[in-house]
Amino acid sequence: MERPFYLDLDLPLWYAWVQKHNLPKFIAKQIFDWVLKGENDPCCFSNIPKNVRDLLSLEYDWDLPKIDTALKSFDGSTKFLLTLKDQKVIEMVLMPSLDRVTLCVSSQVGCRMNCSFCQTAKMGLARNMSAGEILAQIVIANRQLKEIKVTNVVFMGMGEPLDNLAPLIHALKVMTDPCGFGLSKHRVTVSTSGLIPEIKLLANEIAVSLAISFHTPFEEERSQLMPVNRKYPLEDLKKALLEYPIQTRHGITLEYVMIKGKNDSLRHAKALVKFAHGLKVKVNLIPLNPHPGSPMEPALEENLKAFQSYLEERSISAPVRYSRGQDVSGACGQLAVKRQDELTQDPRVLWQKRRHDARNLKTQS
């Protein structure tokens, strides 16, 4: 029988385990502290009796996802390709900056939201990730960082986090529990295409920071870009946002991918301001990351600036966010870029190519 993955257990489950084995309660806390420190070999749990360590080794699966490749971008971020137990592959991006270390994580292998501009959509949904697999990304990132630790987590990697709700909530609780990874709720951001019932459930269970992939204020256009809009239209989305508990001084983030000739006009900016009326929001303007085979292009700089000014003149903060790690295809939300190719070709060859491209870019910059 398959052994449970050790990171799928939170502290209450470790308590239940020690109780089942008639062990003292404090051992559960000791085990969990080792787990949080990033130790994944029970033999090294030095303050725990040998027979308990043996039992742990026997009963649980202690293998973390493997780092297949780590590609460092010239902007300081690193994209990791991780192989899960069933050989499925996910990506995460580590983005250190002066005052924080942000980790962009995946929540599903693939995605079924089918947004027309998103590369992950092309894969479809392979499977959900378990809570432990979501948390493993933090453990792996912390082990890479050594002295410093991840301070912020954004769910902007592969997958629709709210389409994998129970494991997401479990993982969020462990992330933000002071006895867990201890991250502050406003430093953990769930990004969603707009699954309204799940937004409400999230608000009730654990109201972390929320980001909405918005992309256009027009109903029909949004339904074309994001099929989820047919089920959950803008009016309902706005109601859900009005009810969502605010975590940061900026409120809720609306992510707005700027696509040339599609959603980058002042008519769009005007309708966006109307949507935002009464809401506490910030708009992140993200020039589209183009990908091969797609006719969509990033908005022109002048349109981006005009759009930004229109919003800011109406007191809506609208920073332009250039996706980090572009030279290594590491931009969040595009984490599966080129992965489609990798499914049909030897990944190592492609990664070599990408490394080569990244080096070239670096020399050019």
CB of 210 to ligand SAH, least distance (A): 10
**Residue 189 and residue 172: Cα distance in Å, rounded?**
10
Beta bridge partners of 254: 212, 283
**Residue 44 and residue 24: Cα distance in Å, rounded?**
19
> Is residue 220 among the annotated active site residues?
no
Stretch that binds ligand SAH, among 20-28, 129-137, 261-269, 332-340 (CB under 6 A): 332-340
CB of 52 to ligand SAH, least distance (A): 40
Q: ∠ at Cα 276 (219, 231), nearest 5°?
A: 30
Q: Is 332 in the site for ligand SAH (CB under 6 A)?
A: yes
List 160, 198, 332, 342, catalytic entry: 332
Binding test (CB under 6 A) with ligand SAH, winner from 40, 69, 128, 191: 191
Cα 243 to the center of its chain, rounded Å: 23
Residue nearest to ligand SAH (CB): 333
> Is residue 104 among the annotated active site residues?
no
Q: Which of residues 287-306 bind ligand SAH (CB under 6 A)?
A: 288-289
CB 32 within 8 A of CB 14: yes
Token representation of residue 363: 């020399």
Q: Is 118 in the site for ligand SAH (CB under 6 A)?
A: yes
Q: Which of residues 71-90 bind ligand SAH (CB under 6 A)?
A: none
CB of 295 to ligand SAH, least distance (A): 12
Q: Is 169 in the site for ligand SAH (CB under 6 A)?
A: no
CA distances from 110 to 201, 211, 291, 325, 342 (A): 23, 19, 17, 20, 13
Q: Is 164 in the site for ligand SAH (CB under 6 A)?
A: no
Of the two residues 156 and 208, which places its CB atom closer to ligand SAH in the complex? 156
**Residue 107 and residue 170: Cα distance in Å, rounded?**
12
Residue type, 250: H
Q: Is 193 in the site for ligand SAH (CB under 6 A)?
A: yes
CB 266 within 8 A of CB 307: yes
Token representation of residue 216: 């256009």
Stretch that binds ligand SAH, among 6-14, 28-36, 270-278, 281-289 (CB under 6 A): 281-289
List 2, 91, 220, 235, catalytic entry: 91
CB of 87 to ligand SAH, least distance (A): 23
Residues 27-66 vs ligand SAH: string with x where CB under 6 A?
----------------------------------------
Please give the helix or strand (H or E) that residue 18 lies within, else none. helix 11-20
Q: List, in sequence order, every beta strand (DSSP E) within 186-324.
A: 188-192, 209-213, 252-258, 281-287
Q: ∠ at Cα 171 (122, 151), nearest 5°?
A: 95
CB-hemisphere CA count at 13 Å for 31? 29
CB 269 within 8 A of CB 256: no
Residues 221-260 vs ligand SAH: string with x where CB under 6 A?
----------------------------------x-x---
Of the two residues 40 and 77, which places its CB atom closer to ligand SAH in the complex? 77
- Residues binding ligand SAH (CB under 6 A): 113, 117-118, 156, 160, 191-193, 213, 255, 257, 286, 288-289, 323, 332-334
Positions marked active-site? 91, 332
